[in-house]
């Protein structure tokens, strides 16, 4: 378990920092983070399922001015790890992610504040033209600090806290456990509703109805619905329907 907790700590550090620009925009999402956590813990499918469920909450979330309403590392990496290690359902994992994602805002805000200090520390080298040392303040120190506020909490939570959390959850009365499951089932629907409100256009309403029928009445799985949605988008583009509806 030590090695797994250590690897999750490294993953949390990477997801909480700007280690690589590509990593930030592609990998720092709960569905990807969850799959990677699951891979470390030996069950990538369960991790991806939990991560995908967490992803649904934040589908309509919009980042304004670089300020997010949750921390993706705490919600995606740490929450998925805790959910798997404590043998909880994805629905309970959602409630864990909301809590940890909010707590993680302290880490993200602290990271931005401290990184600003590193920038000013680099100013003296810019003034003297010693640009070879800039990478220390612009890359090395920020990533090391990310290890403190993201990597260490992830390691300690996974190594010491998962068992305690599982015992705590087992001691809860049934009605509280059921309430957590119900809340966790509702939150993804809220996230989808927020996204739908943000991207809604009347000309696409028919496609939303078709998707609802496919799932609610025909009980198709997500892969089948994705293929139907891709085919509908392809037809919309190849038949030139986008040209016919321009300006609406």
Q: What's the pLDDT tens digit per position in 132-164?
A: 778 888 888 888 898 899 988 889 888 887 777
Give the three-class secondary structure for 229.
helix
pLDDT(193) > 60: yes
CA–CA separation, 225 and 218 (whole Å): 10
Most confident segment among 42-46, 125-129, 206-210? 42-46
The residue with tokens 């800039």 is 134
pLDDT of residue 39: 92
Residue 206 pLDDT grade (very low, low, confident, very high; cuts 50, 70, 90) = confident
- Burial letters for 51-82: b for 16+ Cβ neighbours within 10 Å, e otherwise? bbbbbbbbbbeeeeeeebebbbbbbbbbbbbb
Confidence band of 205 (pLDDT split at 50, 70, 90)? confident
Task: Please compute the mean of the pLDDT values over residues 76-90 and round it to a whole number.
Answer: 87
For 18, the 3-state DSSP assignment is coil
- How far is Cα 190 from Cα 196, in angstroms, rounded to an integer? 10
Q: Does 247 have pLDDT greater than 60?
A: no
pLDDT digits (tens, 9 = 90+) for 12-61: 888 888 766 666 677 778 888 889 999 999 888 999 888 888 888 877 66
Burial of 223 (0-12, 13-18, 19+ CB in 10 A): exposed
Give pTM, 2 decimals. 0.73
* Dihedral sign from CA coordinates of 183, 185, 191, 192: negative
């Amino acid at each position: 378990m030590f090695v797994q907790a250590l690897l999750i700590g490294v993953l949390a550090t990477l997801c909480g920092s700007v280690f690589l620009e590509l990593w930030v925009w592609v990998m720092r999402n709960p569905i990807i983070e969850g799959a990677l956590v699951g891979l470390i813990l030996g069950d990538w499918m369960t991790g991806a399922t939990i991560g995908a469920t967490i992803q649904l909450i934040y589908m309509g979330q919009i980042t304004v001015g670089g300020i997010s309403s949750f921390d993706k590392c705490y919600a995606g990496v740490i929450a998925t790890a805790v959910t798997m290690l404590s043998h909880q359902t994805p629905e309970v994992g959602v409630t864990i992610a909301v809590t940890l994602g909010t707590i993680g805002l302290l880490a993200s805000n602290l990271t931005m504040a401290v990184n600003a200090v590193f920038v000013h520390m680099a100013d003296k080298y810019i003034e003297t033209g010693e640009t070879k040392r800039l990478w220390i303040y612009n890359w090395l120190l920020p990533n090391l600090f990310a290890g403190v506020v993201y990597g260490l909490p992830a390691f300690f939570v996974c190594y010491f806290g998962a068992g305690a959390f599982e015992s705590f959850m087992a001691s809860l009365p049934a009605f509280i456990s059921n309430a957590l499951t119900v809340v966790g089932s509702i939150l993804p629907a809220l996230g989808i509703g927020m996204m739908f409100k943000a991207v809604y256009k009347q000309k696409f309403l028919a496609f939303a109805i078709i998707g609802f029928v496919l799932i609610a009445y025909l009980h198709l799985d997500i892969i089948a619905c994705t293929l139907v949605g891709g085919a509908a988008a392809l037809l919309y583009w190849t038949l030139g329907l986008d040209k016919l509806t321009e300006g609406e």
